[in-house]
Structures are given as structure tokens and as C-alpha cells.
Amino acid sequence: MGMKNRPFQLITSFIKLLCVVLVCFSFFNPAQLFADRQFTITPSAGTGGIITPPNPQNVPEGNSKSFTITPNPGYHIADVLVDGASVGAVALYTFTNVTSDHTIAASFAPDTQPSFTIVASAGIGGVIEPSATVTVTFGGTQVFTITSDIGYHIADVLVDGASVGALTSYTFTNVIADHSIAASFAVNTYTLSYAAGPGGSVNGTTPQTVNHGGSGSTVTAVPDIGYHFVTWSDGILSASRAETNVFADLSVSASFAPDLPQNLTITATAGNHGTIDPSGVVSVPSGGSQSFTATPDPGYHVADMLIDGASVGALSSYTFTNVVADHTITVSFETDSPQTFTITAGAGAGGTINPSGAVAVVSGGSQDFIVSPDSGYHIADILVDGASVGTTASYTFTNVTGDHSIAASFAINTYTLTYTADVHGSINGVSPQTVNYNGNGDPVTAVPDVGYHFVSWSDGILTASRTDINVTADISANASFAADIHTVTFDPQGGSLVVPQMVGHGGLAALPVPPTKPTFTFGGWYKEALCTNSWNFGTDAVIADITLYARWMLNSYTVTFDSQGGSAVISQSVAHGGQVILPSPPARDNYTFSGWYREASCVTIWNFGTDTVTGNVTLYAKWAELSGDGGGGGGFGSQVIAIGLSGTSPVMDGNGKAIAPGSVETSDGQLKLDIAVGVSIWNAAGAAQSFLSAAPLDTSPPSPPQNTLILAYEMGPDGVTFTPAISMTFHYADAQVPPGTLESEMAIAWWDGVEWVMLTGKVDTDANTVTAQVSHFTSFALFSPAPVQAPPTLKINTPITGTSFDLGSVTLSAFVGNLRLTTGEHSNVPGEGRVIYYLDVSIPIVQGVSALTAPGTYAEGTSESFTWNNIAPGAHTLGVQLVQNDGTPFNPPIVAVTTVNIVAQPTSTTPQSPNIVIPGGSSPDSSGGFNPVIMAGLLLPVSIVAIFLMSRRRSMQPRTAATQTAESPLPTSQTQRVTMAEFVASPALGSPSNSLSKPGPPKKERQRATSSPNDEAGEYIIRLHNTSSGALAAIRDYIQHTPEIKLLTLNNCYSDVQLCINVGSDIALVASLSKMLVNCTVKREGRIILVNGKDKAG
């Protein structure tokens, strides 16, 4: 290539540069490159539901954010407020093109609005509206109006029993319970006040308090002497007044005036046959007095006297006093004749008097009266002329010379009801009682004392309770009682039967013949089956049915030990069926003790672990003679024989006591025994045990619940005892312990024939040992507690919240931990379950209820990803929940939610140039959008300069550089920082003239660098072509969890994505991506890593 090709190369490079610039701008997402502003959306939820996400969200400027509102079971969405304004009861709300801070608040209400009642009532004198029982819905409001009647006023209003004052209206708001409201009223009262001016006074009550519409009492204005009444201040002219129909306060005063000096006249006249003195017109000064005397002629008497025309009787004189008006006085006379008088007779209720009424009697005559009471009554008193003459049934007036009166009164007869109780009882009720004739008494009851019962009343009544009615006479009745009879039952508790006894209350039971029971001695009768308190037949009284229990004492026997020439052994007292305590072995010179036997000939050995005592017994010692030198003795005095155990066995003396310590372990080294000096090793017969054995347990009994068997051994012989206990140590390997086991809780256990008995021991997790003390041999095992099941975990890897997608499909990728995913509904098993995916629905989280939603809104299975296809444009909520085998939620529910935006494709068929926002330039929405031609014009001078420099640079490079392959990595010592601009300006990938390549090391060195499993540090470009969103999510998750990698930029261009990363240290970047992205091909070309989807066209 010579200089003659230089113009062509320059033009070609310029065109390449211009195309690459345009492509670069199409790849870049200006919003991601330059957007650095974020705004906060603060969500909140009231009682009854949740909003997701629940925490404040930072949203980049111009992005969208969706929130899902989910009511709790039994609630529904009441309203959603965005920035304080209602947007309705929506389950999903999306903020689009966010350019400022926002708030979103969700409120909830119960699904079924309960109703409550308010009981309204009003007393006399007014009304309440509405009244009676008023129904109000949950959270509603009800107004009540209180109105008093005319003449009344509101006294008080009680709400739920508490006063709220004399209100005319009351409003219940936010009603969430039943209530009551009660209005009371009081009649209006008025005050009547009367006063007197000078010259008089007021006679009557003043002031007076009168109810509305009522009347006052009479008052009179009384003038002083020399004065006369003039008027009341309200215009009433009569001195006496009584107010009626009062409806207001009244305050009046009476006025008086002095009298004028004057004389008044009294005209006196007399009829025939007599005179009056003075007579005629008599002048009397005002306020003065005047007396008149009437004198009949002989044979006549005064018949009547009239004052101002009104009779005052047959008076012989009359005096006018304080004369203030004219008067008349007239007297008449009549001849003398026989005179009659009147006796007025009357009787009250309950009897009669005969004769009755007005009875005429001539002067000096007599009159009899008979008084008769009605049935059930008696004469209370007789009044003659108002004076009592007693309760006589008859009365006679004699020598009647004047009028008289007689009045009889009567009273109803009363009777006394007296009730008494015999000994051992009492009376409940009033006694004595006073009852009117034909009346009824109050109830009384004869109550027996404890241990007694009622028999009868002395008047023959057999019921303990009585009420005497229609009483016509006194009653005196006595209640009698008798003692109860109780049954004394004897429970022999396994002994012979004893006949029950019948004993009167408070009596003594007779001591029965003692029962019998084989192998037991009778120990007396007791009040309880446990025989705690004994029954004393001489003092304990029977006051109720009772059962007495026999106490039995197991027969005791003497166990005698015949040492047959050895040292003495103390005998023992053992209860029937009990076991003999193994005594310390006896001693005998030149002999070794070999155990205790039933016969002196030592044929049948006595087993202290199983044999029981049923009578007096003698046990005999068996001896084995030592050899002449005192050693040997069948192994005694030397080391214990170890079978299946290796190490140093303990040395015993002739009585089985260790005189030298021992430490032995199994051949696998996983069980060790440490026996200290002084430990006695005996067999079941109490003799020294010469050997010990250990063998792995082939078939172990079932493990205890929630435990795992690690190791098990059969230790023998079975029944060998160690006094004191020896040390047993299990040594385990890490691989033998199930994952998740809490090693500090591991324990040694021994088999008692029924179950494993855990021993308290010591765990050394560093040395992997568990040690415990054992006092006998049987099967022993090492157990570990079952590992704690960690709760399932759930995390959405992709898409991240707020991600936007073109029309098509959206794949949700999740991470599920601590859960084995299974298919089909079956019984719940800890650690098992499956996944349910949701689209735009509230996730069901009610315990015990299926978590499935409406068809088309969910998908279930065992995959950790799911793809939703054909999603409509707009904001959508994607949810995922882990459920149990039966399809119901876990407790607590395990749920994750994310939101995405689906963007509609442009409808125009004309290719559109991507809008690019340049900082400081116009936005894509403005009329001044990006014009590639203008941009190319702006970049032309820069491009020419760049081409010239590149040409100069190439002309200066060695020709061998042109043959360098793109696959050759740069050596670490020559690593360049490849910027995004350099990447865009570079020739097509794979071109021999890749400007990113520098002169490299020799071929061998390059080959060695290429074969290295790690990629050198520095910046890389990762380009994804025709891949799913899951690949991008996996790469981002990998970067996020790899501290050595930092994401610098991320740019989207349709299906292609470019990431610029910085690798801080050598890591196997390409190998890791290849292993992770199984559906993609990963290829490295220098500092560029190409990721292509296998299952995508292109």
C-alpha cells in the first residue's frame, strides 16, 4: 500500500468513522447517560392492607414507578390518594415520567359494613328526633334534635349514660359501636313576689314558686288601722288575689291610703215580744265598737238574731268590733214551748251504729245506741261529744238538755303467726308475723342442721316451706327434725371384703373385723386411698357417706449372708418382692470371692439385678482357693481381659477393684473407656468381672424423635457394673454429622430395654468428642439432634422494579432457597413446596386457603423462572409466592413483587432515528430533536483531524502490527484503558487493523497469556446480542456479587445491550460467563466480550 492509495484510505476511514459515530449514538440511551436526578415517592397504607413496595422509592427523573395496593382478608380498598388527591379505589397505580417528589396513601375498609343501633329516648316534657332505635352504618353520622314542650326546658342529655349538658342537638360521628342518647326535661317554674307599701301588709305566702300553668295561693293586702287598701301595682283592685295559669314571674306591691275621719251607722231593730238595746240608728266611729242586748218579753225567748241579714243564732247579745262599714242587727222572739235536741250518730268502716244519723230527743229525754262490728273487725273506740267512752257495744244518753254526737270507729282484727324450730334445725323467715284478718303471711322454711332432715310441723304440715293464707286466727307451729343416716363403706384395697355400716349423723362407726391379704399385714383404716390420715373409731364422727380404705404393709423378710469362712456380712431386711442390695464382698485368706449362691453347695447363683425376695433367705459365699504363690487366681490380680478393645486394661485385685488404671478403645478408635484406680468391676452376682467387651451394634433400636444415630456399640457383658462410674468417650468425624446439626447438643445414650436414656455429658466440638460417665454395660449410642430446618427464602433476580420492556414477553427470574420444589398437591412436608407466579392481582396470603387466583392471572410449577407473553402496554405488577405442597401459603407468607412497564411499538412504518438528549441541548419532546445530518456536519472537522492522526500513526507503526490478531490480549505491563469513545471509533470487531491492538509480546508469551484461566484486570466491554432479559439479569447479579467488578455504564439499543465494566483483579471472567449463560455463546475479542443468544435469530 503506497501513497497513491492514501486519498482512498482517508475517504474510507471517514465513512467508517461517520457510520460508527451514528451507530454509537443509536446505542446510547441518553436518559441513562445523563440522567442524574432522582425523586422520592413515599407510600403509606392505613389499617386493613398493605402497599407494595412499602418503603420510600427513589426514581430517576422521567422514569415510571408502580405501586400495588393489597387489602387484608375481610377488607377492601376504600380510596387511594396521590399527592393528597383521590384516584379511586385502585389496586395498582403507576407514576409515569416522574419529575418531582410524590406521595401515595392507601386506605381500607371492612368488606361488610356493619350497622349499629342508637337508642334515643325522651322523658316527659319534650321530644327527641329521631326517636326509638335508629340504625347507623359503620363509620356513619347521626344527628339528634332535642325539643322541649311549652312550659318545659331541657334538663340534661345523657350519651351512653354520661351527661353532655342541656344540648338542643347532638351528633354521633364515625359510629363504630352501639350507643344510647336520653333527653330529660324539667317544668319551668316562676316566682310570685308580693310586697306592701306604707300603711299595710300582705297576708299570705310571699314569694311563691309556681310551676308553668299552675296557680298560686291567696294573698291579701291588709291595711293598717286608719288605712285602707287602694290597688295592686299591676292594676288589680281587689285586696285578695290568687294567681292562676301562671306562665311568667310576677312581682307586685299593694298600696294603701289613710282613712278619712267618719262615723258609721248600725241600725238595730227588734220583733214582737222583745226589745234590743240600743235600738234604731246607732252612730259608731270608724274602727270603733258597739254592743247590743236582746231582751224577750216574759214567756218568750229569742228565736233568732240576724247580722247584716245573716243569722248568728238565738243570741241574747252581740258586739260589733272595728267597725269600718254600716251594719244592721235584727232580733226576733217566739213563745216558750217543749224543746227537742239532736243526737248525731255515725259509724266508721268495719261496723254499724243503731240508730244512726240525726236522732231527735225531747229535752230531758233518753236515747240508746247499739254498736256492732262487722265480721273480722272489732270496736276501736266510741266518742261521745268528741270524748272517748271506751269500746262499749252500747251507749245511753240520759236527761238530754242539749245536742250531742256519738261516733263509733272500728279496726280490722290482726293475728300472730309464730314459728319455732326444734333442736337440730332453724327457721328461715320472719317469726313472729302479724297478719290482718283474711290476710296472708310471709313464707318461712324449716332448715335442718347439717346431718339432719325436716320431719313435719306441729300442726301436721309436712312441707318444710309454708305460707299461711286467709288467716282468721293465731297460729303457733313448731318444726321437728331427725338425724340423717350415713353409709360407711370399707374398701379393702385388694384384701377380703368388709360389710358396710349404717350410722346416724354424728355417730361412731364400729371397728370391723380386720381384712386379710396374702403377703401383706393389715395396717388399719384410713380416710384416703393413699392412706395418709387414719380413722379413729373412738372419736371420729360420721357426718356424711364415707369410704374407709385399708392400709397394707408389705411383709418384710430377713436376708442373711453366710460367708462360709469369710468375713462377716451384715444381714438385710427386704420387703416382699424386693431386691437384695449387693453388699461389699467378704474377705478370706488365700481365697478369692466368687459370688453369692442360694445353697451352701453354691450351685445356683443369686442375681442381685433380677432375683426378688419372697421369704426369709440365706445367701452363701462361694470361694476359689488361690494357688500356692498367691498370684493368678483365674486372672484376678492381673489385667482385665479386653475383647474388641485395645490399649491398657485396668489391673484388679481379688475383689474386682482396680488397683491400676486402664484406658482402652475400639479398633475403629471411635469409642474409648477410661477406668480409674478404685473402681469396682462386678458381674450380676456381685463377684469380680474378669473381662470386658465392645462390638459395633449391627441393628440399633429406633432413634429418639428428632435425633440422628451417629455411632452405636454393644458393651458387655450385659449387667456389669462400675462403682464409681467410668468415663466413656465417643469420637466422631465431621462427615458423620448431618449438615446443620448443633454439635454442642450431641449426647450419649444407653438402651434400657424400652427406650434410649440420654446421659449428661461434655461435648468438645474442637476435638469432635462427647464424654459421659457410665455405671453399667448395655447398648450405648451417640446421637445428634435433627438439623434445624431453615425457612424458605425467595428473591426476584429480574426484572428489577421499574424496568421497561417493548411489546412481547417478560420473564421473571427468581431465586428460591431452603425449599425442595415438588409437583402435585399432597400432604405438607417441611422443606417442600412449589412456586406460583402472579400477574396484576392481589397475592392471596390467607393461611389454610388455596393461593390460586383467577385463570390467566397465575402460573404454578417448580421452575425458578416464568415468562409472561403478550402483555398489554402499561404498568404491570409481577408477583411470586412460595406455597406448601397443598397449595396454601406458608406461615408467614413468602412473597416477592416487582413492577415493569410495557412500552408500545411505534405504529409508523418509516424508520425513526433515535432521539438523543445532549446535556444543555433540547429534549426529545421539543421541536429541536437530534438530526444526524447536522451531527455529521458538526463532527466532520473532528473526523478529518482524527483520520489524519490515525493515518500518521499507522504510517509510523511497524508493518508487522497489521498482522496482529484481535484475539491476542494485551500483556499486563501494556494494558490500555479502553474508553467507550475508543470502542466506538474502532474498526469492526475482528478486523486485522483493530486499533485497540498494540505490539504484543512474542508468540510463545502470547500463547501462554491466552491459555491462562484468569483474565487480566482493566476495563472491558460486554455486548449482548439477541439475548433474553434473563441473560442481562444474570450478568448484573454476577457483577453485583463479585467485589472485583464494578459496573461503569449500561446502554440499551433495541435487542442489544452494552456494559462497560472495570475488573479490579485477575478473575476467570469469560469462563464464569460461559458457565453461567448456558443458552448463550461467550467469546472474547481483546477487551470486548461478545454474548450471543443461541436460541435467537441473528
pLDDT of 931-983, one tens digit each? Answer: 444 455 555 555 555 555 554 444 444 333 333 333 333 333 333 333 333 33
| pLDDT value at residue 31 | 40
Rounded distance, CA 830 to CA 268, Å? Answer: 132
Question: Under 8 Å CB-to-CB from 699, ≥6 apart: which residues?
Answer: none
Which residue, 957, 970, 966, 1014, is CA-closest to 986?
Answer: 966
Three cell numbers at 338?
217543749
Three cell numbers at 505?
349423723
Please tell me whether residue 690 adopts helix, strand or coil conformation. Answer: coil
Rounded distance, CA 468 to CA 444, Å? Answer: 9
Strand order in the sheet with 317-320: 274-277, 290-296, 317-320
Strand order in the sheet with 387-388: 357-362, 340-347, 404-412, 377-384, 387-388
| pLDDT value at residue 634 | 38
| pLDDT value at residue 935 | 53
Q: How many CB atoms lie within 10 A of CB 893?
A: 16
Q: Which segments in the chain show pLDDT lower than 70? A: 1-36, 113, 260-261, 627-637, 788, 824-825, 905-1013, 1028-1029, 1051-1056, 1066, 1094-1098
Phi, psi torsion values for 929, nearest 5 degrees:
-75, 175
| pLDDT tens digit sequence for 153-163 | 999 999 999 99
Amino acid in the structure at residue 591? Y
Question: Under 8 Å CB-to-CB from 567, ≥6 apart: which residues?
Answer: 586, 587, 588
| pLDDT value at residue 183 | 96
| pLDDT value at residue 163 | 95
